[in-house]
Amino acid sequence: MASSLTKDSASTTGSEKTFFGHPRGLATLFMTEMWERFSYYGMRALLPLYLIAPNGLDMNPGTATAIYSVYLSLVYLLAMPGGWFGDRVWGPRKTVAIAGATIMLGHLVLALPSEGTFFAGLGLVAIGSGLLKSNISTMVGHLYDGPDDPRRDGGFTIFYMGINLGAFAAPLVIGTIGENVDWHLGFALAALGMGLGVAQFLLGTRHLNERSLIVPKPLSADERASTLRKAMIWMGVAAVFYIGTVVTGVYTLNWLLVPITIAGLVIPVLVLTRIKRDKELSDTEQKKMSGYIWFFVAAAIFWMIYDQGGSTLAIFADSSAENSVLGWDFPVSWYQSVNPVLIMALAPVFAAFWMALNRRGKEPSTIVKFSSGLVLVGASFFLFLLPLTIAGDGHKAAAMWLVAIYFVQTVAELTLSPVGLSVTTKMAPAKYASQMMGVWFLAVTAGDCTTGLLSIAGVELNGTGVVALQAALAVAAGVAIFMYRGKVKTLMGDVR
């Protein structure tokens, strides 16, 4: 598979095969990521619809949104321990191989027609995704001669195209089969996609840099024994607790959902507090972390709204939208292909636009871009009020209303997300340089856990009042960052 994407071109060694001018190993990682995203986004497009379907698990929309949000939060929460396993236990290459196999197993378990195995499958996919997310990006970096290699940025651009190709195709294939033929067959297709990804990864590992085999900071024998002992204790406590709730007959799904959502809100606070209070940080690093907290909180608000595109908006489309164009009906899951295709179309436009402004000395600052992204994601939910009002009058809302919402959210993402990734690396204290990307992912966790907690509390996220409140919160956060840009800019120091 991956070999069909390569071509012969001049390289540093003269006749070595390359992947569009990049190291041959990029093809292996590109295809692995594409198939992993195909399986992930395909399952994700089906998840809320299966949870509420009468021939699925037939849950109420609030519970479905809570499960969906908790699942997403787990994926990003587990990215930090996933990176830890790559750094301390298995090394990036072995971690990615184990992660892919775990994801495939999770999708196979999801394909079994049982509610009990369904949640076990979700857990396996979340664990595998967390293990893979950090380590595969690390291996892309290993392909190049350090951060100054002129091909490095282009390599990551090609790699991220694999993400969007997989995300675009998945709802069209897996969503169609899952909705129109059989839900569990759709989940089985996701397993097949990940299986293809694992197979080509194992076949193409010879093209990867040998550094990906190395465990950068292996655990000592004492550390390994201590870590294993603590893990077994915590697993034992959890097992005893949940077996007790089942035996006594008090167990409900909230016994699982509530602790995860609370953990997803508490852990980011604890991590940021630990870094901020580290006495080894210089005064400049302390100030930068204070400034970073502004961006972190704002990002959590952004992802709280943005990630509802797969839950709140999808559930609304299923019940209250006219899912057809020019008389042609399409599955609800197809809406999840709108964002990736817009990303692929608009990302080059945004990159060229920022470059053109930069040449004229007019490129907006990081703060302005970030605040604009927040205002735009808030505007997308103000726009959501229109189809909600139409549906409230007993009519079906046109599909293009939802497409318009996804369009505004995609523009917001392109304005905020790349800037957030960049500012995270630039403001990271030297001591925590390798951990800060995991900290950025915790903003996604916090946002999704907020959504999950609201759903568990019985808040109707499709209600006009709640949608308007969320929209106003995002706009207010964006305006606040802009108004206090002088203070934030001072805290950022030399970061622009």
Residue range 197-234, pLDDT digits in tens: 999 999 999 999 998 999 988 999 999 999 999 999 99
Amino acid at 421: L
State whether residue 166 is helix, strand or coil. Answer: helix
| Parallel/antiparallel/unpaired status of strands 321-322 and 397-398 | parallel
Q: How confident is the model at residue 16 (pLDDT cuts 50, 70, 90)?
A: low
- Please tell me the least confidently modeled range out of 51-60, 314-323, 434-443: 434-443
Is a pLDDT exceeding 60 seen at residue 483? yes
Position 179 pLDDT exceeds 70: yes
How many CB atoms sit inside 10 A of residue 433's CB?
Answer: 10
DSSP one-letter code for 144: S
Helix (H) or strand (E) holding 406: helix 399-427
DSSP state of 219: P
pLDDT for the residue numbered 4: 38
Instruction: Please give the structure tokens belonging to residue 86.
Output: 């790559």
pLDDT at 7: 39
Q: Calculate the average pLDDT of the chain.
A: 89
Cα-based angle 217, 79, 153 (whole degrees, multiple of 5): 80
328-329 and 17-19 beta bridge pairing: unpaired
pLDDT in tens, 395-421: 999 999 999 999 999 999 999 988 887
Picking from 125, 72, 123, the residue whose alpha carbon sits closest to that of residue 445 is: 72
Q: What is the mean pLDDT of residues 443-465?
A: 95
Q: Which residues contact 23 (CB under 8 A, 6 or more apart)?
A: 143, 144, 155, 207, 209
What pLDDT does residue 14 have? Answer: 41
What is the C-alpha R_g of the chain? Answer: 23
pLDDT at residue 446, as a whole number: 96
**What values do phi and psi take at 18, rounded to 5?**
-130, 170
Share of the chain above pLDDT 70, in %: 94
| For the chain, percent of residues with pLDDT exceeding 90 | 65
Check if the beta carbon of residue 5 is closer than 8 Å to that of residue 31.
yes
User: What is the average per-residue pLDDT within 262-279?
Assistant: 92
* Residue 454 pLDDT exceeds 60: yes
pLDDT at 11 over 70: no
Sorted by sequence, the CB contacts under 8 Å of residue 381 that are 6+ apart come out as 305, 405, 467, 468, 470, 471, 474
Read off the pLDDT band of 6 (50, 70, 90).
Answer: very low
In this structure, are residues 49 and 171 in contact, taking their beta carbons and an 8 Å threshold?
Answer: no
Band (495; pLDDT cuts 50, 70, 90) = low
**Among 101-110, 121-130, 239-248, 414-423, which is the least confidently predicted range?**
414-423
Q: Which amino acid belongs to residue 324?
A: S
Q: Which two tokens stand for residue 317?
A: 């489309």
Among residues 441, 445, 372, 447, the alpha carbon closest in space to that of 413 is found at 372
